[in-house]
Every structure is written in C-alpha cells, then in structure tokens.
Structure 1
Amino acid sequence: MRIFENLNKCAIRRTNLRLLMLAAGVAAMPLASLAEPAHGIAIYGEPALPQGFDHLPYANPDAPKGGTIRMAEPGGFDSLKPWILKGNPAWGVGVHVTESLMMRSIDEPFTLYGLLAETVEVAPDDTWVEFTLHPQARFSDGSAVTLDDVIWSFQTLGTQGHPRYLGAWSRVAAIEPVGERGLRLTFTEPDREMPLLMGLRPILQKSQWEGRDFTESSLEPPVGTGPYVVDRVDPGRSISFRRNPDYWARDLPITAGLHNLDVIRYDYFGDANAMFEAFKAGEVTVWRELSAQKWAGEYNWPQAQQGAIVQSEIPHQRPSGIMGLVMNGRNPIFDDWRVRQAMIEMFNFRFINQTLNGGVDPRITSYFSNSDLAMGDGPATGRVAELLEPFADDLPPGALDGYALPEGSDRAMDRAGLRRAATLMEEAGWTVQDGQMRDAEGRPFAFEILLNQNGTALRTGSETQQMVNIFVEALRPLGITPRVTLLDAAQYVERTNNYQFDMTWYERALSLSPGSEQRLYWGRAGVTEPGTRNWMGMDSPAAEAMIDRMVEADSAEEFTAAVQALDRILMAGRHVIPVGFSPISRLAHAADLKFPDRIPVYGDWPGFLPEVWWQETN
C-alpha cells in the first residue's frame, strides 16, 4: 500500500494557508495592492509561484502522454450542459472541455494563475478587474477566443445559467472591452473576492449557442477551449473525452505535466456494487473506496494480490465540509431546533460508525473540521464572541455557549439519547400517544427520508441505506416511523432542486477559502429560490452577516474569526445530522496508472484526478 506522508513544506503545513502572515507579524498584503497586470492573483498575499514559473509543483512535466483511464459514475445523464439548472449533466464536460480565464492551483487556498487570460489587473480599491486575453487562445475548432465570446459567456451565465452563477453576477455593475484583448468588469462595490470568482467563470463559444434557448437541456457536444473534446456519447451510459493534439495551451507552463491521458472515459452504473464489480473485472481502472473497513479487508481478489491493482492513500489538508442527513426547515415539523436536536440524539453515530466502518473515520464536529477555520470548543471568545454578540437574542442555543454532538453508545439503542430526545420532543409539543409520536391535536410526527439509490460522490447508495435503516429502527421506541423513498438520480435531482423532501442525504465540500459562495449554501434567497444548496431552508441574519464579514475582511484574524463564528451558527442550528469524514482519499487503481509523489494541499480534489495522472506502458 502506498501511503504518503504529510506535506512538510512550511508554507503549506497547516490547512489555513490562505491566512499566512508575513514573518514580521503584520497582516497579509491585500489583493488591492496589485496595481499592474500580473500573472496571477491570490485572495490574500502574493501567489506562491513567481512570474515565469515552469510548472505547478504537484505536476510532473516529464510525464509521458498517451493511455486511457476509465472511471465509474452512479446513475445516468441526459445533458451535456452543466451550466444550467435543467437536466442531469454528464460529469467531465465542465472539467475537460471548457476553461476559464484563470486556473486554480490546488496547492494554495485560493490562488489563480492566468490561462485564457494572459494577465490580470485589479483596481487599487477592489472596484474592478481587468483581464487580457492570451493571443493564442483558441476553441477546439480552431477559431480564436474573442472578447465577444467572453462577454457573452459572462452575461449569459449570469442571467440564464445555474443559480450558482447568479449571485456573483448581481454584483457586477458593468462589463466592457478595453482595447483589442482587454476586458474590464466593474463591481457594484469594493469586493476582494470578485476578481477571483470572475476569473473562474467558464468561457463558451458564443456562435454555438447564440440565438437559442440557453436554459434548455441538450446533448449537443459543446465546443470549448479545453484540453479534451467530447469523443463518444452513449446517453445515460457512457461518455468519453479524447485529448486534443492541437490544444492551444499545451505548451504553457500552467499546463506542463497536466492532461497526459489520451482518453478519459466515464461509465455509468445502476449502483455502487455494479461499479465495484466492473472495477474488479478491469472495465474500470480507478476506484475511490469510501469504506475504511472494506479498504482494509476486502482487496484480496487475484489481480489485487498479484500487484495489478495498487491501493494508494492520498492525504489532504482541507476542511471536512458537512455530510449527513439534512432536515428541511421548510417543513414545519423541522422548524423547531429541539426537534432537530432530538433527531441528532437518535442517530447513534458511535454504533453506526463501528458497525459499518469499523469505527475508523472521525465524526464531523464542525463544518470546517480538519482545519484551523473550525470553531473552538466551549464558549465563544475574543473576536468570535464580539461578532456574534449583536445577534445573541436570535442565535440558536449553543452558538455562543458552545455546542457539541452527543457521544452516543456502543449499543444499537442509546437509552440516554432516547431519554434526551423524548424530553426535547415533549418540550416542542410532541408526545407518545398510543405508541405514536403526536402533537396536541393528535397529528402524527411523520416524515419522508429521500435517498438517491445510486449513491453520491462520497457515499454509496447501499451505505446510506444501511445508515438510514439503523436510524429508522432507533426511532421506533420514540413512536416515529419515517417513510424511506429511493429514487433514481434524475428524479432525485429534480426533487432536491425544488426542496421537495423532508430529510435527505446531504454533502457540501468546503474549501480553505470560503467566501461569497456561502450565500448559495446558507443564504436566505435559497429558502424559496430553486437550485441553491440551501437544502435546509436556513434563514439566518447572523449567518449572512458573518458571510459579509468574511468577504469584507481585510486581515487574517478578522477572516478566521468570521468563519469560526459562521461555523458556530451552522453547527448550533442543528440542520444536519453529521456522519464521519476521512482525512485521506483511498484510491485503488491499475498499477500502470501513476501520479506525482508531491501531493497538493487539497489532495484528491478537482484538478488532481485525472489531470496530473499518466499511464506507463511497457
């Protein structure tokens, strides 16, 4: 088994790299200090790589080109347009086919380097950003990328695209060309983060989509500027991408050692068991193992024992994010924090983790676990307490005084948890009557748990079902019997996009540089606006104030305090029943598939697999 040690370079030792201070102890240099065109920008301080760097530190510029990688995805797809709300898009189109003006380094918290844009310049007061297009930038059909393409892409995504694009676009006051290759975006107010967000917008070919309804789902392969083109599509079953030998950026330092494989193929399967069997049969060449218990004891078939399959553990230094069962506060029964806490009490994670995972993975105790951005134990102190104090009367219990998850029990029935849950339910107006939990009017406490039968990126369908089955059994002594509904991927996406669920499985990855995207996750607009990630229906002025403070922070200390304050609001809100997380990624793969020894801070994150991998052939 190949196990990598933690990175020891001092500049990336801890997860909160974004907040590094100068050696003298003064605040990190703000983005506004950029006063002339530059090769890259960082949310705080300078980019780690200087002008003229020759390759990304986690890429191998000597990696051979060629070969094929085959990966498995659950469910199916009916669209090749990942930029809109409609449809269930195939994975990989927005990753391999299209590009943005700048490219993110996954070895730094939030730093971008020029790609389609040769340079970037930010106003001294953070009120505008200018990008200068690279003169060589081309679409895969050979046509030049023009300012018209860029402006059309920004405007179209910002007004007709997926809701994830709309919030940032509302903060753009004007977009206009500057000279032959320049583009300026002016913001409605000073905003340090906006230049980076705009630098990551995908750039599409105007002539392909102009004059058509961009909001409609489509299986038409998009024309992009990326290193790959769509090769073959079997709707709902498979999609493959072929490396473009004429890729315009193939000789740029930012792409050195990237995009080495000739073919990237994704095959879709009905469930995780079918996916794993395909991997064992050699039809899939990389497998992310989500079960520590299975990883340790079940990789013993002949190919694995003979060395044809390699088990690699990829460490990471990013926040855990949040994962578990989310309760929809739009449903009146989950509008009371006491009811939500009762559900948390009844989810005996200690027993579930031991039963299904050997007790290996630690529990998520903070939305930013595994990082310095996580809230501290006990009462809020210092600047965190100061930020929360104005909202004290409206904060959920524990936000200021401290909140911790129940310890749980080694037995299936956590009797102490049951007693606490019953008390909380009674305080909220629910009691057991004739064996069933009911309110004062005799109405039963009934709800549906909605699950994707195909699973998710971080949990298989069978694993979530096993967790839910244990949870459902634990609820019976409380007089509660939820209805569990399994849906295919398309139906599940449709219902969750429109918040048509009571409780469902929830996963939100969080980075080392949280910012305005947090509004999409927890902002009040998501209470009614479809397609956001605010599945819990959270409406918290305190949370929105902390997000504003994060975005506006002009020092490392202020930023960290705002994130930790937000974390307290989220955890004490009790919206999600958290499960465990892994500080490593477990990747089993064909032995001829390789990746560099130097692992980026974000580990196995978009931009790592398959971007830096290659295949060695004899």
Structure 2
Amino acid sequence: MRQGFRTGLRGLLAVVASVAIPAMAAGDTHGIAMYGKPALPPDFVSLPYANPDAPKGGKIAFGESGGFDSLNPFIVNGIAPAGITNHTIETLLGRSFDEPFSLYGLLAESVVTDEDRTFVEFTLRPEARFSDGSPVTVEDVIWSFETLGTKGQPRYAAAYGKVAKVEKVGERGVRFTFNTVDRELPLILGLRPILKQAQWEGKDFTASTLEAPVGSGPYVVAEFEPGKFITYRKNPDWWGAELPFNRGQHNLDEIRYDYFGDAGVVFEAFKAGEITSWRETNPVKWEQQYDFPALAAGDVVKSVIPHSRPSGIEGFVMNTRKPIFADWRVREALITAFNFELVNKTLNGGIPPRIQSYFSNSPLGMTPGAPAEGKVADLLAPFADSLLPGALEGYALPAGDGTEANRKAIRTATDLLEQAGWTVQDGVLKNDKGEPFAFDILITNGADDIIGAATIYVEGLKRLGIEARVVTVDSAQYKERTTNYDFDMTHYVRSLSLSPGNEQTLYWGSAGVTEPGTRNWMGMNSPAAEAMIATMVASKNPDDFVAAVQALDRVLTSGRYVIPIWYSDVSRLAHRKELKYPERLPLYGDWPGFQPEVWWYQE
C-alpha cells in the first residue's frame, strides 16, 4: 500500500511538472489550485478520501499534555485549546488533502481570479450561517480579514499587508486587489477564518478570553474547564452539512480533548479507556508496549497510515541570537557531536530514518551531498558570497559511528570549535576571554523521547568540554519563552507540505530576528532564503517552483540551524474498534483534515 501511495504521488507531480500552466479563465469557478486546475470537477459528490455514506453519531476523545487558558486562538496572548479553530470556525474555501494545494468552495460558492492573480473575488453562499443562526455577511468577511491582519497572530499580517484594496461587490461578493506579485495569495485568503463581527463590538480582540468565538463550522463549544477539558458538540442546525465538500466529513456528534500532565499520563489514560485515540510516535513502544487488556480483547486496534509528504524538520534548534551559536562552525560542530545513530538505536530501535533536509522524502528536497545544478544553481548564484559552505557544493549531515565514544565525530567537532576560537582549558571548553561554552536545552515537561535524546546528547557534549543542561518547563512557560525567543537551544518542529508558500516567510523571514511570535526560532537572517521564497510564490511554472524550493532547502540545511532527528513515513494510530476511517487515504495521510474529520463511529 505504501509503495502504491508513493507511486501515485510521483505520477501526480510528474503530470503537474510536465504541462504548461493554463491561464485561469475569468468567471466563477468552484475551486482553485496553486498550479493548474483543481482535480475535482464542479459536480463532485465528495472528497475522494471521504465516505459520503459514513454513519453519523458517536464520539471521539483525545488526550493532550499541558493546558489552555483562552478560547481565542487567533492572537498571541494565551494558550488556546486543541481543535477550536478546526471544529468551530469555517473559511471561505476548504482544502483537499489529496492534492498538493487545491481549494474548493465552503462559505464561498465561487472564487474568481485572473491569469496573473492580481486580485481574487469570493461570492458567499446565501445559505451560509453562523452557529447562532445569523447569516455570514460580506461585512463579517471584511472585518475578519482586517482584524486578523492588524491585531491577530503575526502569520496573518504578512498576507494582509499585500492587499491594496478590499471592496464589496453586490450583496454577497468581496474582492481583494493585491499590491504585490504573489500567486499564492488567493489561496491564503481563501483559508482565513471568518468570525462574527457583532460578537467583538466593544471588546479588545487582542485580550485573552474564555468566551468562545461564534463560528460557522460543524461544531460548537459545549463544555470546558480551563486546563482540564473541552468538548465540541455537533451543531444540529449546521448550515453546511450537505455541501459536496463536507459529505462524509464531520460525522461524529462529539469531540472531546482531555488535558493531562504529560504524554506518559495521556498514554495511561488511553490504556484505561478515558480517551479513545492515541497517536504513537515511538516505533519501539508501538511494537513492544501495546499489550494492555483492551488491545488483547480487540476493543482497541492499531492502524498504520502511510503518507507522501515532506519530512519537515524536527530536532534541536540553536538560537543564533545568542553569541555562542552565531558562528556556523560552532553549529556544525554541535551537529557533528550529536550521535544520532546511538540516540536512534537507544530510543527507537534504529527504526525511523533521519531527516536529511527540510523537504526530504519528497521531490522538493535537495539531494544530500550533491552539488547544485541547473535552475537551482542559477537561483543561488547571485548569493554565492553570502551562502555557507555546502549550499552550492553539496552538503550532507555528518554521521556518527553509533558508539558512546563516537571518537571520529568528536575529533571533527573539536577541530571546528578550535577554528571558531574555542579550546579546552582544564577540561572546560572556553573562548579567548576565558568564558566557558555552556547552554541550556529547553523542553516541555512530558516530552520523554525528546528529553531522552537531549540527555544522551548532553553526555556526548561533555567529551568536548561543553556544559549543557536539560531544562524542562510546563507548556505555558514554553510558549512564553519560545514566543520571545528566550532560550539557547530547544526542541523544534516544523511540518512542511508539498506546496510551500508564504508561510515560509513566517518560518524563516528576517523579521523574526527581532519580532516576537514568528516561527523563526533560530533567528536566521538570509537574503538568499527570502529570495527563494519570493521566487517560489511568484512562479507560474512548476519546474521553477520546484527549483526554488530545492534551493531554499539547500540554504536552510547548509545554514546548520537545527540538529535534525528522525521522522516517520507512516503514522501509528491506536484507537477504539468502533472508530473507523475510509480505505482510500489522502495524499497527505494522517494530517489535519483526516482525524477526526473523515472518521466515523460504528458499533
């Protein structure tokens, strides 16, 4: 099954990359794709990975570690609960996860743009309603875009800053005209959450609140207790139940999230039946520790869900705002000293592969160790003087020997540190001012595998005379500190799609060096990366797009900002036997939009 899944992806990308991009005709359309046209016709019955005949009813219960203290997920302040946006808030368009990046009508019945995508116009469905029964209006749309773009989280501001003009068109239309070339903008705006303007009149949108937002999605907030649980209940009067995009989705009557102290406690709650689905990230645990009574009795089943999305990046990110991490040779030394082979064998039985680059496991990734060629080399050439070694010549992660001593890697790391001005004095690594090389690794409580990897790493660093310390904090402290980049090194995860775009600026853009709340935790400032992102979002030709992403992958990987760990090309889900999902899996596999969206409950 997994091989067929990947073959399908290669075939899809080959088709996209082998044809010229047709001009989008003026006039109403049921959907929009980043490249070419949407795969589904105007009269599609349902998404291909949804079961339109799925039974309705039942519930699912998830477990989360940490807590929440706000029901406004759109602002920097506070921690919002899981699921509140996905389950209760609707967007103008909805994404099919069986295509790299295609959207279809939800609140909007049509979307119009021109060949150069200088504007986008949405027409609202007349039947679209908020959960309180009031209609979704153009005024709500305009207010939502302006409020999120000026008062919401930083990810909303970048796109809104590219909007030159917003106009109401007739009774149900809204038109956005752009001030810059960005072919992804119509899709980004189509995925912006739409809120009810009247709910927020006279209120401070930026303030944390326990008032649930009024949305137009399939669920409403039913009950909650801050930091302990939240329950979403299906709205019996949901306006969108019969839309083709929604058929076979949102089948469950109730979705609940319970909060626990850490991930270990969540797993025990799953074994005890308090929660009904668990996503396992440790392959050894999956094979060796699933012997509890409910599984033996057949009440719990194990499902393996393959996917064909990029590996993304996960590992330990170095904050280059801190002087000790500013030199690339120091970062290369710290990557070299990370004994991945030993860590992976100890924690995972050596099963999952290592992340080789940010877009590895996909056609968008660079080839490790190979020099840049063709369009990729041409894109990077203007920045040759500022690129770090390996970006053009080829870069591959250093490998350890799997032994605790890891002697060759330690020697290489020692040489790199000496080149950067760090030498061992009386058993302690110091610079020419006599300052010791010491730093903290910040991790959330309960992240046992990551804590385990960091602990092994700390022991290895002692061989270099480096004093590193694992510091664990609760989720609230972790969010506060990472939002303000108050850390030396920390656990870092960025999931990446087959259609990267403007969000890459939020991840790697130079504004994040000083602006709090971005995802540029490493503090990188790379004109080359920003140029590759600009080329990516402006590309009309798939070959140009792929080349720009591969070039960006080279800049990021050779930047040596993150010590990569492992990834999995499957998801491992254990769940109650009554919870079912379609045999036909989406291209992205277990990704947002899969569980619980297309799952159902059946005795």
The answer, yes or no, to whether TM exceeds 0.5 is: yes
Residue 16 of structure 2 contacts residue 35 of structure 2 at CA under 8 Å; is this kept in 1?
Answer: no
C-alpha distance after superposition, 1:480-527 (max 9, x if no partner): 111221110001000000000010000000000001110000000000
**Secondary structure at 1:361's aligned position in 2?**
coil
**Secondary structure at 1:231's aligned position in 2?**
strand
1:411 aligns to what?
403
Among 543, 547, 550, which residue is 1:564 paired with? 550
Residue 362 of structure 1 contacts residue 581 of structure 1 at CA under 8 Å; is this kept in 2?
Answer: yes
Residue 441 of structure 2 contacts residue 490 of structure 2 at CA under 8 Å; is this kept in 1?
Answer: yes
1:239 aligns to what?
230
> Using the alignment, how far apart are the partners of 1:415 and 1:127 within structure 2?
57
Give the counterpart letter for 1:28 in structure 2: I
The 5-angstrom pairing of residues 118-129 of structure 1 reads 118-129=109-120
C-alpha distance after superposition, 1:256-282 (max 9, x if no partner): 011111000000110111100000000
The 5-angstrom pairing of residues 537-548 of structure 1 reads 537-548=523-534
| Residue 414 to residue 601, structure 1, CA distance change in 2 (3 Å) | same
Pairwise CA distance, 1:211? 2.3
Residue 19 of structure 1 contacts residue 556 of structure 1 at CA under 8 Å; is this kept in 2?
Answer: no
Residue 96 of structure 2 contacts residue 103 of structure 2 at CA under 8 Å; is this kept in 1?
Answer: yes
Among 11, 17, 21, which residue is 1:28 paired with? 21
Among 31, 37, 41, which residue is 1:46 paired with? 37
> Using the alignment, how far apart are the partners of 1:483 and 1:222 within structure 2?
41
**Secondary structure at 1:212's aligned position in 2?**
coil
**Secondary structure at 2:224's aligned position in 1?**
strand
Give the counterpart letter for 2:16 in structure 1: M
| Residue 8 to residue 338, structure 1, CA distance change in 2 (3 Å) | closer
> Using the alignment, how far apart are the partners of 2:236 and 2:227 within structure 1?
27
Pairwise CA distance, 1:189? 2.2
The 5-angstrom pairing of residues 340-379 of structure 1 reads 340-377=331-368, 378-379=370-371
> Using the alignment, how far apart are the partners of 1:116 and 1:48 within structure 2?
20
Question: Is 1:330 the counterpart of 2:321 in the alignment?
Answer: yes
The count of corresponding residues between Structure 1 and Structure 2 is 602
TM-score (norm 1): 0.96
> Using the alignment, how far apart are the partners of 1:123 and 1:258 within structure 2?
31
2:414 aligns to what?
422
C-alpha distance after superposition, 1:236-291 (max 9, x if no partner): 00000000111000011110011111000000110111100000000010000010
Give the counterpart letter for 1:381 in structure 2: E
Among 223, 226, 235, which residue is 2:214 paired with? 223
Pairwise CA distance, 1:19? 6.7
**Secondary structure at 1:589's aligned position in 2?**
strand
**Secondary structure at 2:531's aligned position in 1?**
helix
**Secondary structure at 2:467's aligned position in 1?**
coil
| Residue 502 to residue 8, structure 1, CA distance change in 2 (3 Å) | closer
C-alpha distance after superposition, 1:110-162 (max 9, x if no partner): 00000000000002331100000001000000000011110000000000000
Give the counterpart letter for 1:27 in structure 2: A
Give the counterpart letter for 2:323 in structure 1: P
**Secondary structure at 2:383's aligned position in 1?**
helix
2:466 aligns to what?
480
> Using the alignment, how far apart are the partners of 1:254 and 1:517 within structure 2?
25
1:457 aligns to what?
none
| More deviation, 295-304/576-585 | 295-304
Residue 20 of structure 1 contacts residue 556 of structure 1 at CA under 8 Å; is this kept in 2?
Answer: no
Residue segments in structure 1 that go unaligned for 5+ positions in a row: 455-460
1:289 aligns to what?
280
1:259 aligns to what?
250
1:608 aligns to what?
594
Residue 20 of structure 1 contacts residue 28 of structure 1 at CA under 8 Å; is this kept in 2?
Answer: no
Residue 5 of structure 2 contacts residue 307 of structure 2 at CA under 8 Å; is this kept in 1?
Answer: no
Residue 7 of structure 1 contacts residue 599 of structure 1 at CA under 8 Å; is this kept in 2?
Answer: no
Among 409, 423, 428, which residue is 1:431 paired with? 423
2:309 aligns to what?
318
Residue 319 of structure 2 contacts residue 489 of structure 2 at CA under 8 Å; is this kept in 1?
Answer: yes
> Using the alignment, how far apart are the partners of 2:358 and 2:164 within structure 1?
33
> Using the alignment, how far apart are the partners of 1:537 and 1:407 within structure 2?
26
Pairwise CA distance, 1:5? 4.0
The 5-angstrom pairing of residues 497-576 of structure 1 reads 497-576=483-562
1:13 aligns to what?
9
**Secondary structure at 1:70's aligned position in 2?**
strand
**Secondary structure at 1:482's aligned position in 2?**
strand
Among 435, 440, 448, which residue is 1:448 paired with? 440
> Using the alignment, how far apart are the partners of 1:19 and 1:38 within structure 2?
25
1:386 aligns to what?
378
> Using the alignment, how far apart are the partners of 1:171 and 1:535 within structure 2?
24
> Using the alignment, how far apart are the partners of 1:362 and 1:94 within structure 2?
33
Residue 306 of structure 2 contacts residue 570 of structure 2 at CA under 8 Å; is this kept in 1?
Answer: yes
TM-score (norm 2): 0.98
Identity of matched residues, %? 59
Pairwise CA distance, 1:6? 4.3
Give the counterpart letter for 1:489 in structure 2: S
Among 263, 267, 274, which residue is 1:272 paired with? 263
> Using the alignment, how far apart are the partners of 1:413 and 1:387 within structure 2?
41
C-alpha distance after superposition, 1:193-237 (max 9, x if no partner): 100000000000000112211011111111100000001011100
| Residue 48 to residue 7, structure 1, CA distance change in 2 (3 Å) | farther
1:194 aligns to what?
185
